[in-house]
């Protein structure tokens, strides 16, 4: 049985990669991934063979990994964050049915929701929802419904892919949906370049967030009705007594 690792490498910095992930990459002959993610780890594993594909070539990338594993190589398919959160794990299982002699081994990673939350403070201490604003694979109407219902249910909301060149007003539109259920002074935050060069976090109100321009390298947190700004940190109380 040939081995194919599916690895979440974390947000970017080597020190934020799990020990298990680093050990699996050391065991691998070939590392396959999206071009940007491959560039993030090359300096730490310079002796490895690399193959990459650009965005929108995800199926090709997965098939490439399986085909190379069938040649007897130990292969690692890498994703940023956790490969099971908006990553390649699901697609690898779907394609894997055609490769019964390849064993998938999954290794979790630190996803943006939690790694970025640590930059802001403690926004995810109570129930929360994670929603991607990218409509590349999900209709915008469905995204709108998910954002609106999460806000109505008073979840803290973590938004992945909040904006891009083609979707510059999507975060504003999401904030408008939340404002139907939450106050403009609701505590929010965003972090750019989590775990990478240029990392910066900001805590602000929902009203201010609506007027803020972000990019695809930014993750956004919208607090619930209990979320507080405590000395510049975004904190959602769990509700412990005598505090």
For residues 3-20, one letter each, b for 16 or more C-beta atoms within 10 angstroms of the residue's C-beta and e for the rest, the string is bbbbbbbbbbbeebbbee
Tell me whether residue 156 is in a domain: yes
Same domain for 56 and 38? yes
User: What residues form DSSP beta bridges with 32?
Assistant: 51, 77
Backbone phi, psi, residue 99, to 5°:
-130, 70
The residue among 56, 85, 107 that closes a domain is 107
User: Rounded CA gap, 197 and 135, in Å?
Assistant: 28
Tell me whether residue 45 is in a domain: yes
Tell me whether residue 189 is in a domain: yes
Same domain for 229 and 135? yes
243 pLDDT band, cuts 50/70/90, is low
DSSP summary character for residue 231 = T
Tell me whether residue 9 is in a domain: yes
Same domain for 116 and 101? no
Q: What is the CATH number of the domain that holds 40?
A: 3.40.1010.10
For residues 207-240, one letter each, b for 16 or more C-beta atoms within 10 angstroms of the residue's C-beta and e for the rest, the string is eebbebebeebbbbbbbbebbebeeebbbbeeee
pLDDT digits over 5-22, tens only? Answer: 999 999 989 999 999 999
pLDDT digits over 30-47, tens only? Answer: 999 999 999 999 999 999
CA dihedral in degrees (110, 116, 122, 126; nearest 10)?
A: -60
Q: What is the pLDDT of residue 228?
A: 98
Look up the domain containing 57 and give its range: 2-107
Q: What's the domain count of the chain? A: 2
Report yes or no: 28 and 48 within 8 Å, Cβ to Cβ.
Answer: yes
Asked if residue 242 has pLDDT above 70, the reply is: no
pLDDT digits over 57-102, tens only? Answer: 999 999 999 999 999 999 999 999 999 999 999 999 999 999 999 9
Residue 177 is encoded by which pair of tokens? 């949906």
Using CB atoms within 10 Å of the CB of residue 73, give its burial: 0 to 12 exposed, 13 to 18 middle, 19+ buried.
middle
Same domain for 216 and 118? yes
pLDDT digits over 182-232, tens only? Answer: 999 999 999 999 999 999 999 999 999 999 999 999 999 999 999 999 999
Instruction: Check the CA dihedral 115-190-146-55 and report its sign.
Output: negative
For residues 102-135, one letter each, b for 16 or more C-beta atoms within 10 angstroms of the residue's C-beta and e for the rest, the string is bebebbbbbbbbbbbbbbbbbbbbbebbbbbbbb
Q: What is the pLDDT of residue 176?
A: 98
Neighbours of 181 (CB within 10 A): 17
Same domain for 49 and 14? yes
Report yes or no: 189 and 234 within 8 Å, Cβ to Cβ.
Answer: yes
Q: What is the pLDDT of residue 241?
A: 73
β-pairing, 121-122 with 75-79?
Answer: unpaired
Same domain for 119 and 89? no
């Amino acid at each position: 049985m040939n081995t194919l690792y599916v690895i979440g490498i974390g947000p970017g910095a080597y020190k934020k990669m799990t020990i298990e992930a680093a050990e699996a990459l050391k065991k691998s002959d070939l590392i396959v991934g999206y071009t940007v993610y491959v560039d993030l780890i090359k300096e730490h594993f310079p002796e490895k063979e690399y193959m990459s594909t650009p965005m929108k070539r995800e199926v090709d990338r997965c098939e490439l990994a399986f085909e190379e594993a069938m040649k007897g190589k130990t292969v690692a398919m890498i994703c940023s964050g956790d490969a099971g959160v908006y990553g390649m794990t699901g697609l690898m299982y779907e394609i894997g049915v055609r490769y019964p002699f390849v064993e998938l081994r999954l290794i979790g990673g630190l996803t943006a929701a939690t790694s970025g939350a640590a930059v802001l403070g403690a926004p995810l201490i109570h129930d929360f929802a994670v929603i991607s604003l990218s409509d590349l694979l999900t209709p915008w109407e469905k995204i709108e419904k998910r954002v609106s219902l999460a806000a109505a249910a008073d979840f803290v909301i973590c938004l992945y892919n909040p904006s891009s060149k083609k979707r510059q007003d999507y975060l504003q539109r999401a904030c408008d949906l939340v404002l139907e259920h939450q106050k403009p002074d609701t505590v929010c935050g965003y972090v750019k370049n989590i775990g990478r060069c240029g990392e910066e976090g900001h805590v602000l109100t929902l009203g201010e967030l609506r007027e803020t321009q972000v990019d695809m390298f930014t993750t956004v947190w919208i607090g619930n009705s209990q979320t507080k700004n405590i000395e510049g940190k975004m904190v959602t109380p769990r509700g412990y007594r005598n505090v």
